[in-house]
Structure 1
Amino acid sequence: MQKNKSITSWLVLSICFLIFICSVIFYTQNKANPKSEDLNITLTDVGFDTPITLNCTCSQADFAKYTKILRKTFKDNNKRFDQYHAYKNMNNLYTLNHEAYDHPIEMDTTFINCLQLALKMQAENSQFDITQGALLNLWHDARENTQIPPSDEQIQEALKHIDINSIQIDGNTVRYLDSELSLDLGAIAKGYTAQLAKEALNKAGLTNGYINAGGNVVLLGEKKDGSNWKIGIQSPDSNDALVQYSTKKATCLVTSGDYQRYFTYKNKKYSHIIDPQTGYPANDVRSVTVITKDSGKADALSTTLFCMSVKDGKKYLSTLDYDVQAIWIVDKDSDVSSNLKTKNYKIITTDKIKNRVTLVK
Structure 2
Amino acid sequence: MKSLAVLLCCFFGLMSRGQEGSVTVKKTLKLMGTRFEITVVAPNEEIGYINIDEAVSEIERIEKMISSWDDDSETSQINKNAGLNPVKVSPELYGLIERSKKISEITDGAFDISYASMDKIWKFDGTMDKIPSEEQIRSSVAKVGHENIILNPKEQTVFLMERDMRISFGAIGKGYAADMAKALLVSKQVKGGIINASGDLTTWGTKATGEKWLVGIANPLSKDKVFSWLPVVESSVATSGNYEKYLMFDGRKYSHIIDPRTGYPTSGINSVTIFAKQAELCDALATAVFIMGKDTGIHLVNQMDGVEVVVVDSENKIHRSSGIMFDTNQ
State whether TM-score is above 0.5: yes
TM-score (norm 1): 0.75
- 1:324 equivalent among 290, 307, 315: 307
Q: Deviations over 1:92-149 (max 9, x none)?
A: 32332222322222222222121111011111112112222222x415x734796576
User: For residues 158 and 56 of structure 1, what CA distance do their matches in structure 2 show?
Assistant: 44
Q: Is the 8 A contact 1:91 1:107 kept in 2?
A: no
2:326 maps to what in 1? 355
Match of 1:42 among 4, 15, 28: 28
Instruction: Describe the SS at the equivalent of 2:163.
Output: coil
For residues 138 and 356 of structure 1, do their structure 2 counterparts lie closer, same or farther at Cα, with a shift above 3 Å needed? same
Q: State how many pairs are aligned.
A: 306
Q: Which amino acid in structure 1 is aligned with residue 164 of structure 2?
A: E
Q: Is 1:122 matched up with 2:104?
A: yes
How far is 1:353 from its partner? 1.8
Gaps of 5+ in 2: 1-19
What amino acid maps onto 1:292 in structure 2? A
Given that 1:168 and 1:176 are in contact with CA atoms closer than 8 Å, whether structure 2 keeps it comes out as: yes
Which segments of 5 or more consecutive residues in structure 1 lack a partner in the other structure? 1-33, 333-344
Match of 1:8 in 2: none
Matched, 1:71 2:56: yes
Report the secondary structure of 2:317's partner residue. Answer: strand
Rate the CA distance shift 1:269–1:314 in 2: closer, same or farther, 3 A. closer
Q: Which moved more, 1:106-115 or 1:258-267?
A: 258-267
* Equivalent AA in structure 1 for residue 166 of structure 2: S
2:286 corresponds to which of 290, 302, 309: 302
Task: Describe the SS at the equivalent of 1:181.
Answer: coil
**Separation of aligned partners in 1, 2:65 and 2:87:** 13
CA contact (8 A) 1:245 1:357 kept: no
Please give the TM-score of this superposition, normalised by the length of structure 2. 0.82
CA change 1:74–1:239 in 2 (3 A) is farther
Distance, in Å, in 2 between the alignment partners of 1:76 and 1:118 is: 19
**Paired position in structure 1 for 2:16:** none
Corresponding position of 1:51: 35
Q: Secondary structure at the match of 2:25?
A: strand
The answer on whether the counterparts of 1:131 and 1:162 sit within 8 Å (CA) in structure 2 is yes
The match for 1:206 among 150, 172, 190 is 190
Which residues in structure 2 correspond to 1:240-319 (within 5 Å)? Answer: 240-247=224-231, 249-259=233-243, 261-262=245-246, 270-319=254-303
Deviations 1:49-78 (A, max 9, x none): 321001232122321221122211222222
- Note if contact 1:114-1:189 (Cα within 8 Å) is conserved in structure 2: no
CA contact (8 A) 1:288 1:305 kept: yes
Larger radius of gyration: 1
Q: What residue is the counterpart of 2:317 in the other structure?
A: 346
Is this contact kept in 1: 2:302–2:321, CA < 8 A? no
Partner of 2:204: 220
Displacement after TM superposition at 1:288 (Å): 0.6
Q: Following TM superposition, by how much is the alpha carbon of 1:191 offset from its aligned partner in structure 2, in angstroms?
A: 0.7
Q: Distance in 1 between matches of 2:73 and 2:38?
A: 29
* Cα shift readout 1:171-223 (whole Å, capped 9, x = no counterpart): 33211211132223211111111111111111111121211111112112234
- Give the residue type in structure 2 aligned to 1:133: A
- Tell me the secondary structure at the aligned position of residue 142 of structure 1: coil
Question: Which residue is equivalent to 2:95?
Answer: 113
Give the superposition deviation at 1:81: 2.1
Q: Which has the higher contact order (CA 8 A, sep 6+)?
A: 2
Query: For residues 86 and 76 of structure 2, what CA distance do their matches in structure 1 show?
Result: 14
| 1:355 maps to amino acid | F
| Paired letter, 2:319 | I
Deviations 1:247-266 (A, max 9, x none): 26221000011125556789
Amino acid at match of 1:121: I
Separation in 2 of the partners of 1:346 and 1:205?
42
Higher helix share: 1
What is the alpha-carbon distance in structure 1 between the residues aligned to residue 307 and residue 299 of structure 2?
12
**1:358 to 1:186, Cα distance in 2 relative to 1, 3 A:** farther
Query: Structure 1 residue 230 and structure 2 residue 214: aligned?
Result: yes
> Alpha carbons of 1:155 and 1:300: their partners in 2 closer, same or farther (altered >3 Å)?
same
Find the partner of 1:81 among 54, 60, 66.
66
